[in-house]
Amino acid sequence: MTGYFDLSKRVALVTGASRGLGLAMADALAEAGATVVLNGRDANTLKAAADRICDRGHNAETSAFDVTDRSAADSAIGSVVTRHQRLDILIANAGITHRAPLAEWTSEAWDAVLTANLSACFFLAQSVAAPMRSQGYGRIIFTTSVIGILGRRTVHAYAASKSGLAGLARSLAAELGEYGITCNSIAPGWFETELTAPLLADKAFVARVNDRVPLRRWGKPRDLAGTAVFLASDAASYITAQQIIVDGGLSATL
């Protein structure tokens, strides 16, 4: 692949990349020429995912760590930079959700979601910003959610964390732009992933979503991949502090 979307010689770290949206984005970056470091907590699952990418002739490595463990994350990022002498792209995608009526939420559940979905992304960005500043180039991309824009009952911490993450992308963009670093976010709508499996099991809910989405279907992980490549590439060199919604038109309709 050549031109604006060529990621040859770029090194990318994608968190939450053993499956679902993270794997689809990592796979696409590798197809565009990047060396992709897949992150997740399970080393065996990561290896299987990386092997599938490598079997197609692309470059993929693994780095198993919990994004909420700041020491482990910093060490892993340092290892990537030592190995490759650079780190060009971070896609901070790992996240969790919790569903409960307002009265049943606990402080432990609230803190767990905010820690994984928002705080971990901040500290990952803080860690990768150092080598990106030194090389005068970087792409930081967060996975947010249309729920952070529209809201949804019972997922209060998830909605708050994703809305906060979009704001974090803007503040980082304002500070890091002078170093050649862009920071943007991608807000998926309803996608078929392990995270949404409980909802996909509800046929009536699936039908309601399909009826509201102009494209009349749920997104598939691959539908998000092109946006990730775009934001990671030179084609988006003058785009920063933005949130791109990928929801089949859901948020634009009543």
Q: Which residues are catalytic?
A: 158
Give the residue carrying structure tokens 């060490």: 75
From residue 188, alpha-carbon distances to 6, 111, 207, 247 in Å are: 24, 23, 18, 5
Report d(CA 116, CA 198) in Å as an integer: 20
Write the burial class of residue 86 (CB in 10 Å: 0-12 exposed, 13-18 middle, 19+ buried).
middle
Distance in angstroms (rounded) separating the CA atoms of residues 61 and 84? 12
Q: At what angle do helices 43-55 and 20-31 cross, to 10 degrees?
A: 30
Quick check: 187 and 144 in contact, CB under 8 A?
A: yes
